[in-house]
Amino acid sequence: VAGEFELIQRFFTRRVTHTVLSVGDDGALLGPRAGMQLAVSTDMLVSGVHFLPDADPAALGWKALAVNLSDLAAMAAEPRWSLLAIALPEAKESWIEPFAEGFFACADAFGVDLVGGDTTRGPLAIAPTVIGEVPVGSAITRSGAQPGDDVWVSGTPGLAALALAALRGETDLSETARARCLAALEQPQPRVALGLALRGLAHAMIDVSDGLIADLGHIAERSGVSIELADELLPIEILEAATGAPGLARRCLLAGGDDYELAFTSAVDRRECIAGVGARLGVALARIGQVRSGPPAELRVVDRHGQSLPLAGRGYQHFVEE
């Protein structure tokens, strides 16, 4: 049946630039380049859980793809292709058109061909799958952290959580700060260029989607190491200046999520090189701690005297509490 949902599928059919066969057959055909492995990932966004039902469709379209590309960035893979499965309560063009615009704005920004998908009736849920390429042996995983490594993070994790706090009325932000925080929440920029630039430099990498503590905990667990963050090195200035509430700023930084910055570890003798990457890309990179040999999976934040400080919360909570 060529129903309304098949018609609406047309909004997702665009010219592709590096795909053998795209939308319109039983599946798409891709031709990976020689010497490449494929990195693949899928993250599902559900209305009422990951976003509010009245969320701006254009922002949502961008974000649905961006959070998936962030996973590729965290593996040092180059985004190439995407599929999109989406369930919609109704075939409303006034929603689907801006959603598709937002999705393709992100796809175009990062060189992604949308090659297939499925559109069906149902409670609003968005499930993109992304496929990237990475030269054999060049992927950066969560399990490569080595004792003695520096721990780094890009940008200012916590901006998205601070936006959420402001939306909930828990803090006041200046107009400038509010705009910056909302941009982090609604239009996250996956750190694709940074991920690629860290090939051969970073030992382990993850994107900060669940919160800095929680995500560095994944690296510590998978690498069988402990991680010690130095409180005075944490990039908290922007958050503190925005909210004026130091406790909230710290909670957002350590336990906020949904930012899609990259956290990674690398050898101490690569410090200058890493700093050069940041300068070249115009991305702030903060060296925030060190990898230790044990106990495995432990994560601590210490003051300048080496005393453990209490961790702030356990990680990101979605809009609707799980």
Q: Does 315 bind a second copy (CB under 8 A)?
A: yes
Q: Smallest distance, Å, CB 320 to a second copy?
A: 8
Taking residue 211's Cβ as centre, other Cβ atoms within 10 Å add up to 28
DSSP assignment of 100-117: HHHHHHHHHHTTPEEEEE
Compare residues 208 and 234 and give the one whose CB is closer to a second copy. 208
Q: Does 4 bind a second copy (CB under 8 A)?
A: yes
The values of phi and psi at residue 60, to 5°, are -65, -40
Using the rule CB under 8 A, which residue among 29, 52, 268, 275 binds a second copy?
29
Give the Cα separation of 178 and 159 in Å (integer).
Answer: 9
Residue with tokens 């109704």: 90
Give the Cα separation of 308 and 77 in Å (integer).
Answer: 36
Taking residue 97's Cβ as centre, other Cβ atoms within 10 Å add up to 15
Q: Does 146 bind a second copy (CB under 8 A)?
A: no
- Residues in contact with 176: Cβ distance below 8 Å, sequence separation at least 6, in sequence order: none
Q: Does 5 bind a second copy (CB under 8 A)?
A: yes
Site size toward a second copy, by CB under 8 A: 73
Site map for a second copy, 271-310, x if CB under 8 A? ----------------------------------------
Compare residues 143 and 187 and give the one whose CB is closer to a second copy. 143
Site residues (CB under 8 A) for a second copy, limited to 164-223: 205-207, 210, 214, 222
Tokens of 5: 């949902």
Pair 115, 161: CB distance under 8 Å: no
Q: Which stretch binds a second copy (CB under 8 A): 124-132, 182-190, 231-239, 243-251?
A: 124-132
Using the rule CB under 8 A, which residue among 31, 169, 282, 306 binds a second copy?
31
Using the rule CB under 8 A, which residue among 142, 191, 203, 251 binds a second copy?
142
Site residues (CB under 8 A) for a second copy, limited to 225-254: none
Q: Does 94 bind a second copy (CB under 8 A)?
A: no
Q: How far is CA 138 from the centre of its chain?
A: 20
* Beta strands, E only, 139-284: 150-154, 202-207, 226-230, 262-266
Site residues (CB under 8 A) for a second copy, limited to 98-117: 115-117
Q: Smallest distance, Å, CB 37 to a second copy?
A: 5
Q: Does 37 bind a second copy (CB under 8 A)?
A: yes
Using the rule CB under 8 A, which residue among 13, 143, 146, 187 binds a second copy?
143
Q: Does 71 bind a second copy (CB under 8 A)?
A: yes
Strand partners, 117: 84
Using the rule CB under 8 A, which residue among 16, 87, 183, 283 binds a second copy?
87
Taking residue 271's Cβ as centre, other Cβ atoms within 10 Å add up to 13
The values of phi and psi at residue 294, to 5°, are 180, 180
Q: Does 54 bind a second copy (CB under 8 A)?
A: no
